Structures are given as C-alpha cells and as structure tokens.
Amino acid sequence: MRHSVDISEADGVRYLHFGSEWVQGAMRIARPWSLELEYTREMMAALLLRKPGRWPRSALLIGLGAGSLAKFLYRHFPDCRITVVEINPQVEFVARQYFRLPDDDQRLDVRIACGADYLQQGSRRFDLILSDGFDAAGRPGMLDTAAFYQSARARLTDSGLFCVNLLREKGFQRSVDRIEAAFLGHCRVFPASPDGNTIVFARGEQAVEVGLSTLQARADELRLRTRLNLRDTVKRLQQSGISDEAPLSF
C-alpha cells in the first residue's frame, strides 16, 4: 500500500494526512509527547485495566501514523519495549522528521511490513497490542478480518490486552462480531467518544475485572504521572452502568 503523506498545521497543531483532509495523526507542537487526538487517549485506557507497575513490558503497535501512541509509551514507560509495524516507509520518515519520533532501536523498533502478515508469521507475544491502521479512505482492510483478530489473540501474553480503534460506520457491528468470535467473547466495546471513534478491548487468558473506584484511582494516578486525563472515559463508563457493584469485566 502506497499513499501520499501530507502535513498541515493550524492553531499550534501539526496534522498528518494520507492524501485527503481526513486526519491520520496530530501533534501539538508545544507538547510533542502528549496525545492530541481524543481517540488516542481513549486507547490508552488499557492502562486502567491492569494493575499499575511493571505492565506493559512489551507493546506492539499496528500502524504508526504520527507516532503519538509510540511516543507516549516511550516517554512514560521506560521498561516497555515497543515494536511498531507500518506498511508505508514514507510514514516512518515523516514521523521522524516532523513528529519527533525517537530514534532508539533498542526501545522503539519500527518494522516496515503489513501488520496482518507480521502477526500471522511470528511467535513473539506482547502485553499490549494496539491496532490503528487505515488507508487514505479510512478502511482498515486486512486489519479487520477474522484471521487478523485470531492472530492478535495468539500473540498476547496471558495478561495481554488487545485494543483496536473502530469507526462507527457501516460494518461496525460486523467488526465487533469478528472480535468477539476471535476472543471467545472476552472483549468490551467502550462507549463511543465524542469524535465518533469507538475503542474495543479484548484480553488474553487473564480476566479483566475493575470496579469504578479502582478505575477512578488509576486514572488519577496516571494523570499525575503522565498528564493524561482519562476522567471523561471513566465518566462515560460510569454512565454506561459501571460501578463497584457492577465492575467493568470481560
């Protein structure tokens, strides 16, 4: 897949585009390590679902974009080894030149390959797998197939979490159905964020069960440590029925 890679700037924010006005990534120039786009912050809600500390020790990111998720993990989780799989070499060049992607092969390994092929052909397991890959038309292609989700499950550690960014458009429920089938029902669709993206989490062998007060406490701790504010995410979970008596579980 080869698509044009374009950059725009407005109001102190630099944007990445794949040959259209659709935003594929963003960086606030004054805060290059922060997560500018709401859906990227929502994907980091994975950090609320496991006990803080040594998790995650390894992360696989399918799709580089502007490098926002990779940079956040690199800065705030120094013990985490990050692998990024990106199909377009020009995206890596632009991320390094214009979006401050670190050059550190020991901690941040960028592979130019198809994410679906990478999952199917390897055996290394990861604590966290984040899938956020789209073409210029906003289509995930092979990253939204039964085979891809099955491969993702096979590459998770026992405590691993899989997270995918889905657009609430035609075919959304079929995507959720494929994830549920691949992960044997062990998944959770988060409430849609205001920007229209919906994040789906699924897990490895170890169950997720987190009550509201624990989610709030972990969100507060994460904000103090990284400045990432996930209180709105927790509030939407509360509005969807999550409480200490009815914890978030899957």
Please answer whether residues 20 and 135 qualify as being in contact, where contact means their C-beta atoms are separated by less than 8 angstroms.
no
Catalytic hit among 79, 127, 132, 135:
132
Tokens representing 137 are 């038309």
Please answer whether residues 82 and 109 qualify as being in contact, where contact means their C-beta atoms are separated by less than 8 angstroms.
yes
**Angle, helices 231-239/212-226, rounded to nearest 10 degrees:** 170
Please answer whether residues 143 and 115 qualify as being in contact, where contact means their C-beta atoms are separated by less than 8 angstroms.
yes
Torsion sign, CA atoms 224, 225, 226, 231: negative
Q: Quick check: is 132 catalytic?
A: yes
Cβ neighbours of residue 55 closer than 8 Å, sequence gap 6 or more? 127, 159
Q: What gap in Å lies between CA 239 and CA 130, rounded to an integer?
A: 25
Q: What gap in Å lies between CA 7 and CA 79, rounded to an integer?
A: 32
**SS3 at position 59:** strand
Active site residues: 132
